[in-house]
Structure 1
Amino acid sequence: MKLLLTSGGVSNASIHAALCGLLGKPVAEASALCIPTAEYGHPWCTPASAWRFVAGHSPAPMCDLGWRSLGLLELTALPSIGAERWVPWVQEADALLVDGGDAAYLGHWLRQSGLAELLPSLASTVWVGVSAGSMVMAPRIGPAFVGWPSPGASDETLGLVDFSIFPHLNHPDMPHNTLAHAEQWAAALPGPCYAIDDQTAIQVVDGVPEVISEGHWQQLKG
């Protein structure tokens, strides 16, 4: 699987070009499934914000990029319909567009649904995450980002990359998302850490990360 881990979606030309490069074709020729599940685990999110993501009205450009086809994949529904139905949907998609919200909740439902187990086999699929949809790929998200009361209040996530992400660096609506707070967050984690703003993404191909940015970012531990 190829990863495009963003803080604020496909928010500028550099990130858009990286997405097309990972897809191997223009967005207009690609199919995608959008995954809003993380929204339901975060206290700031509502049914209205989930709808905005799916409808392409989110502040983070994802579903409104002009995809050839776009479908909705709700992880909480998958265990009740059987893998024989939903696995082909995922395998046929060029990209998975994964919304933000609560990363622990998202990680839980990725495992419960069976999608987490499937992801390593999707060699040509592009995972496009925004905020929690990016953070969930890390081994851990850090105690500061644990909101949903998961069993044991664990901050462990999927571990499909070896680094952790602090999103929305210096966001005007998030006064605690400063570099100083990011440094404190990173100090509690054992591996590499990146703080990225909403004009930055981390592309990962064959396990190798590359920062794509028209904004500000900082590698806090490496």
Structure 2
Amino acid sequence: MKLLLTSGGITNPSLQGALLDLLGKPISECHALCIPTASYAHPWCTPVNAYRFITGGSPAPMCDLGWKSLGVLELTALPSLGRERWAPWVREADVLLVDGGDALYLAHWMRESGLADLLPSLPDTVWVGLSAGSMVMTPRIGAEFVGWTAPAGNDQTLGLVNFSIFPHLDYPHFPENTLAHAEKWAAEIGGPAYAIDDQTAIQVNDGHVTVISEGNWKLFNPPN
């Protein structure tokens, strides 16, 4: 799977260029599925947030980029359907657009639904994460971002990449999201970790990690 891990969606031409590079064809020729699941568990979110994400009314450009088709994949529904019903929908999609919210809740339902197990068999599919939709791919999110309590009682997510993400760096409405705060978070994380603002994304393609940015970011605890 190809990853574009954003903090705030496709917010500038550089990020759109990175998305097109991963897709390998115009957005207007691509079929997308959007996943709003993470938003339901975040204390700041309501069903209105999910609606805005799906319809393009949120400040994070993702679902409104001009896809050939756009469907909604609600992970909490999948266990009651059986994989033979929903897996073809995922395999036929060019891109999965994954909303923010609570990363631990999203990780839980990715495991429970079977989507997490399916991802390694999708080498050409592009995953575009927004905030928690990006953090879910990391090994852990850190105590700072724990909201919903996972059954295991820890902060571990899927670990499909070897670095963690502190999103929304210097975001005006999150005064605690400073570089100094991110540095303390990274010290607790221990492993490689990026702080990224909403003009930045991390592209992962064939194991190669590239930071795409028209804003601010920092790598803490770089790997040897």
Q: Same fold (TM over 0.5)?
A: yes
> What is the distance in 2 between the residues matched to 1:153 and 1:56?
34
Q: Secondary structure at the match of 2:32?
A: strand
> What is the distance in 2 between the residues matched to 1:145 and 1:207?
26
1:23, CA displacement in angstroms?
A: 0.3
Q: After the TM superposition, list the runs of 4 or more consecutive aligned residues in structure 1 that deviate by more than 4 angstroms.
A: none
TM-score relative to the length of structure 1 = 0.99
Deviations 1:59-117 (A, max 9, x none): 11000000000000000000001100100000000000000000000000000000000
> What is the distance in 2 between the residues matched to 1:115 and 1:61?
24
TM-score relative to the length of structure 2 = 0.98
Structure 1 position 21 matched with structure 2 position 4: no
> What is the distance in 1 between the residues matched to 2:17 and 2:82?
36
> What is the distance in 2 between the residues matched to 1:72 and 1:42?
19
Q: What is the one-letter code of the residue matched to 1:113?
A: S
> What is the distance in 2 between the residues matched to 1:3 and 1:149?
26
Q: Secondary structure at the match of 2:189?
A: coil
1:152, CA displacement in angstroms?
A: 3.9
Provide the identity percentage: 71
> What is the distance in 2 between the residues matched to 1:206 and 1:181?
32
Q: How does 1:122-201 map to 2 (within 5 A)?
A: 122-201=122-201
Q: What is the one-letter code of the residue matched to 2:12?
A: N
> What is the distance in 1 between the residues matched to 2:169 and 2:220?
12
Aligned residues between the structures: 222
Q: Which residue of 1 aligns with 2:46?
A: 46
RMSD: 0.6
Q: Which residue of 2 aligns with 1:216?
A: 216
Q: What is the one-letter code of the residue matched to 2:69?
A: S
Q: Which residue of 2 aligns with 1:104?
A: 104
> What is the distance in 2 between the residues matched to 1:24 and 1:208?
17
- Which sections of structure 2, spanning at least 5 residues, go unmatched? none
Deviations 1:6-45 (A, max 9, x none): 0000000000011011000011110100000000110001
> What is the distance in 2 between the residues matched to 1:209 and 1:57?
30
- Which sections of structure 1, spanning at least 5 residues, go unmatched? none
